[in-house]
Amino acid sequence: MSEESIESADNFPPTQDGYQRLWTPQRMVYVQGQDKPKDTSKKECPFCAAQKKTDEEGLIIWHGTHVFAIMNLYPYNVGHLMICPYRHVGMLVDLDDDELFEFEKATTLAITVMKEVSHPDGWNVGINQGEVAGAGVAGHLHQHVVPRWEGDSNFMPITAGTRTMPILLGKQRDDYAAGFEHLQGDFNLPSRN
């Protein structure tokens, strides 16, 4: 291709059209996975590791018979917790009937505890299954329960997810733990210990 045939960049968009654009090439790092550790096989699963710690250290809120509740170290929003089976399995279909029932029942308990503790206006509840779907710990199933308040997205975008607030997390764990203990009877969910 001769130099003469190369068109001037001035002829390409964006031309001035009154719109502002956000140029975010750094997002491609997420899409292409450059920052991911190459070998995660030797790294212990954080949900299995937490079960070996004290509840305070592991930020575990509640122990059911088959599942437990734990704070999210990288919350989408203040008060974000997760429900996990004790077993290290990655998919909802891996759960047996007892686990599946308690997994969902504990989710309703978590929502009720949040209502009592922090009065959210709404919730995001859900599972990312598999790395491609956004699961941070794909090997160990976890249901996100994220309280939402009117206007909260103004200060904590759902995509941020990288701020750790250990002191706040400890206090929230304590408040939630008290709430789970207080309300678990209403949900016919016995605590394991």
Q: How many residues does the chain have?
A: 193
Kindly tell me which of 56 and 94 has the beta carbon lying closer to Zn ion.
94
Structural element, H or E, at residue 111: helix 97-118
142 in active site: yes
With contacts defined by CB under 5 A, name the span among 121-129, 137-145, 149-157, 162-170 that binds Zn ion: 137-145
Bridge partners of 143, per DSSP, are 83
Site string for Zn ion, 150-189 (x = CB under 5 A): ----------------------------------------
47 binds Zn ion (CB under 5 A): yes
Kindly tell me which of 134 and 185 has the beta carbon lying closer to Zn ion.
134
Sign of CA dihedral 152, 119, 167, 82: negative
- Contact with Zn ion (CB under 5 A) among 45, 127, 165, 183: 45
Question: Which letter, b or e, does each residue of 15-30 get, where b requires 16 or more Cβ atoms within 10 Å of its Cβ?
Answer: eeeeeeeeeeeeeeee
- Region 4-23 residues binding Zn ion, contact defined as CB under 5 A: none
Q: How far apart are CA 31 and CA 11, in angstroms?
A: 30
> Which positions are catalytic?
142
